[in-house]
């Protein structure tokens, strides 16, 4: 993970986690839900999924394979990991509720 959730040495809090992965790796839904939005940030794609009162956000994707309103199940591929500005494969993951940003690490399955 680069970086983890919470405080950082440069005093800029992280709202999620960023994981270094192989470019093109499948990015999968962590829980069942409905795709709330799919949008671009520059040349990268973002998928936001609503899970009841929670929202998960998957950023830095390429080749998104879902669309707004689509139901998704745990493990369903949402898209593929893209490159960061340094040319490294990377995906960012964030969880939000009406109470604010949550630590997403507990939603990820350990290998």
Q: How confident is the model at residue 13 (pLDDT cuts 50, 70, 90)?
A: low
Looking only at the bridges linking them, the beta strands covering 33-41 and 89-97 are unpaired
Domain ranges of the chain: 17-99
Q: Helix, strand, or coil here: 107?
A: helix
Q: How confident is the model at residue 108 (pLDDT cuts 50, 70, 90)?
A: low
The fold of the 17-99 domain, in CATH, is: Glucose Permease (Domain IIA) (2.70.70)
Rg (CA), the chain: 13
Q: What is the DSSP letter of 3?
A: S
What does the alpha-carbon distance between residue 27 and residue 39 come to, in Å, rounded to a whole number? 16
pTM over 0.85: no
């Amino acid at each position: 993970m680069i970086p983890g959730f919470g405080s950082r040495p440069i005093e800029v809090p992280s709202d999620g986690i960023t994981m270094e992965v192989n470019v093109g790796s499948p990015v999968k839904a962590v829980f069942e839900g409905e795709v709330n939005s799919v949008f671009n940030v520059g040349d990268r794609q973002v998928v936001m999924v609503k899970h009841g009162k929670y929202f998960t956000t998957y950023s830095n994707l390429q080749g998104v394979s879902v669309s707004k309103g689509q139901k998704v199940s745990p493990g369903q591929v949402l898209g593929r990991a893209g490159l960061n500005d340094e040319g490294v494969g990377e995906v960012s993951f964030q969880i939000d509720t009406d109470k604010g940003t949550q630590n997403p690490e507990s939603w990820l399955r350990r290998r």
